[in-house]
Amino acid sequence: MTENSSQKIYLNGNLVDKEHAAVSVYDHGLLYGDGVFEGIRIYSSKVFRSQDHIDRLYEGASVIRLEIPISPEEMKTAIEKTVAANGIVDGYVRLVVTRGAGELGLDIRKTSDPQVIIIADTISLYPEELYESGLKIITASTIRNHPCALSPRVKSLNYLNNILAKIEGTDAGTLEALMLNHKGEVAECTGDNIFIVKKGVLKTPPTDAGILEGVTRMVVMELAREAGIEVVEKTLVRHDIFAADECFLTGSAAEVISVVDLDGRKIGDGTPGEISKKLRTRFQEYVREG
């Protein structure tokens, strides 16, 4: 997007200037965090794994009984239209669907007109130098929501759980924080999935640990298997991270970034490991190939 152009936001079928993009103060997305969203990367003007993101969006909406007013095919076209209108070559799309405006109170039958919002912009989650040196993270005392309360597989607008853990990280001087589940097992970080490497085997928590099934997570697992690396989804605890040879995070915004320290304890030799670096390189190649 050029400096002189006005950013365009997709809002319910129309591209409007950023300063004019607005929803009702009675929208239940604002009042109660009632809605779903996705974060999608753009590489070389192409939407990365759009179908995977759209499928997850519609599945999550269905689970919370939110009817998205356009079809998945129309959603895909709308994303592409918004990216093109903003001239995004390498960037990020935030796709949001709210419950819509209604009365005060929780009754979804008293809401109408779900809002479909698409923002296309640039993003930089971590400083570039940290991709070379690795992240230091802490374990948050805020745990992931109990899966019987709200499924972590729904990427809902209510992100306060993650925000509180993120605050703990920033207060401790780190840019990310590890979250455990209600059983004290490793779940994920506030915005990223987590992997470790032990004796050449790539390990990551399973979906029943209370994680979001990340699209980048899925891609990295595919790339690892193609490279002949054994991939195992298994229950992990902090001991496994402390004793790991390598550790890294994955996410649409973060891509692939190494973790070299947890709670002040060095992981491996304290530098990004060979498998982590290999998968980061392979991921960068893969997104450009598409």
Q: Residue 73, SS3?
A: helix
Are 132 and 113 in the same domain? no
Are 142 and 263 in the same domain? yes
pTM of the model: 0.93
Residue 168 lies in a domain: yes
Are 158 and 41 in the same domain? no
Q: Residue 282, SS3?
A: helix
CA 132 from chain centre, in angstroms, equals 21
Domain of residue 282 covers: 128-289
- Given 8, 155, 166, 203, the catalytic residue: 155
Q: Residue 229, SS3?
A: coil
Boundary-marking domain end, from 98, 121, 144: 121
Question: Is residue 3 over pLDDT 80?
Answer: no
* pLDDT, tens digit (0-9, with 9 covering 90-100), for 247-281: 999 999 999 999 999 999 999 999 999 999 999 99
* pLDDT, tens digit (0-9, with 9 covering 90-100), for 31-42: 999 999 999 999
Report the CATH number at residue 71. 3.30.470.10
* pLDDT, tens digit (0-9, with 9 covering 90-100), for 135-183: 999 999 999 999 889 888 999 999 999 999 999 999 999 999 999 999 9
Q: How many domains is the chain partitioned into structurally?
A: 2
Residue 62 lies in a domain: yes
Boundary-marking domain end, from 121, 139, 154: 121
Residue 92 lies in a domain: yes
Which DSSP category does 90 fall into? S
Q: Transcribe 154-179 into DSSP letters.
A: S-BS--HHHHHHHHHHHHTT-S-EEE
Residue 155 bears catalytic tag: yes
Distance CA 169, CA 178 (A): 9
35: its two tokens: 């809605």
Q: Report how far apart, in Å, the C-alpha atoms of 209 and of each of 53, 64, 280 are.
A: 21, 21, 24
Residue 253 lies in a domain: yes
Are 155 and 92 in the same domain? no
